[in-house]
Structure 1
């Protein structure tokens, strides 16, 4: 890594956490909410999913909307379970690498388009796999549903830089979305477009 880089901002899904859309689709079908499968299958980023990512609706409202769309009385816990089946976990090697980067003096941050259900799952189950917490790895965690803004809006990067008090020229952002990387570059941040889920392990 270029010596000028002092700060590393990580995306969550596809960079740290593995994603399995097919498992999520099957889970929604299993609980009688098959109509939601098309949302996942088409990678839809508008409507219901976007509303949760921007924090415009909470978990209860999300579940109510799922029941309305699917014409079902499926309980909240089953809907949340199915939605969380998208997430497959964080490999230990990635957690160890994060810890090592922090020990080497890099300032680490997380910036994710996510919702409270997915974040709670990651925070409580995935980041704890090596005996630490998410907050032990990252100096600040920026979540779209808390910030009420989302990538690829350049403003979310400017906001993160301002809150963290870091210089864009000394920062690299890692994301699996090319559009998000382009937005980060517009904010003056260097980027690594993650194409395999593991590339950053060897290039950072």
Structure 2
């Protein structure tokens, strides 16, 4: 809440308190008169009615805008892949000029394999994950190793990423990253993630050994940075990750494109 809103709220509360105390003042002092007492009593009742009416209006307006009664959005939490950067492994594979058969086999062994997602959990060293990829299609061992070694090329920054994050910071919002990301990929792509320097904090899956949409990883970012879930909005391209955030009390936006996400933020009062 802005400072002027806090000041106005305190002034209003003080005024209502004075109105409520007036009947007692006139009743207990030598200035008592029935006319003054009744007038102050009516004023107190009127103040109570007005306070209740203002509360109802506030609730209705909040319901329309989608903001929580407990407070406005203060923190924006971003996923990285397909939100702030492109992750296009299909185009990346095309660059190698593999035959259709080999390309499909490597795609199944690496990018479409659950091992790729588990790699983001970071339970093992990079060489162990590479070995597991190779085990899926050992006939393409050499090419699989090359594909994985250069997989940082799948990540391409989106042109609006830095500007968007900096804009939110300038407006006074805190910005964070919550991303399924492997240690190797972060090492390979960190120079492309220039927006990270503007972040107030980040939780990468490999660091905490947790993955979205597991509930624990959402609690990790809330606890690590002392965030109130009602004051946060989470932006992710996967519906399952957004639903998981909502179950933890965090409002979410399922990202389709920048324009859609910016409009959704505006509806939450973030603009």
Identify the range of structure 1 (97-106 vs 29-38) with the bigger mean alpha-carbon deviation: 29-38
Q: Equivalences for 1:2-13 in 2 at 5 Å?
A: 2=67, 4-13=72-81
In the alignment, the residues of structure 2 paired with residue 39 and residue 102 of structure 1 have an alpha-carbon distance, to the nearest angstrom, of 41
**Structure 1, gaps ≥5 residues long:** none
TM-score (norm 1): 0.81
TM-score (norm 2): 0.63
Aligned residues: 193
CA drift at 1:21: 3.0
Deviation digits for residues 131-175 of structure 1, max 9, x if unmatched?
Answer: xx62x2211111111110111111110111000101000000000
In the alignment, the residues of structure 2 paired with residue 40 and residue 200 of structure 1 have an alpha-carbon distance, to the nearest angstrom, of 30
In the alignment, the residues of structure 2 paired with residue 28 and residue 57 of structure 1 have an alpha-carbon distance, to the nearest angstrom, of 28
Answer 1 or 2: which has greater helix percent.
Answer: 2
Partner of 2:248: 187
User: Is the counterpart of residue 106 in structure 1 residue 176 in structure 2?
Assistant: no
Q: Which has the higher contact order (CA 8 A, sep 6+)?
A: 1
Q: In the alignment, which of 122, 134, 141 is matched to residue 189 of structure 2? A: 122
Report SS of the residue matched to 1:92: coil
User: Is the counterpart of residue 80 in structure 1 residue 149 in structure 2?
Assistant: yes
In the alignment, the residues of structure 1 paired with residue 258 and residue 82 of structure 2 have an alpha-carbon distance, to the nearest angstrom, of 6
Partner of 2:225: 164
**8 Å contact 1:6–1:171 — kept in the other structure?**
yes
**Structure 2, gaps ≥5 residues long:** 1-64, 266-271
In the alignment, the residues of structure 2 paired with residue 91 and residue 51 of structure 1 have an alpha-carbon distance, to the nearest angstrom, of 25
The structure number with the bigger radius of gyration is 2
CA drift at 1:75: 8.5
Partner of 1:37: 107
CA drift at 1:108: 0.6
Change (3 A) 1:33 1:123: farther
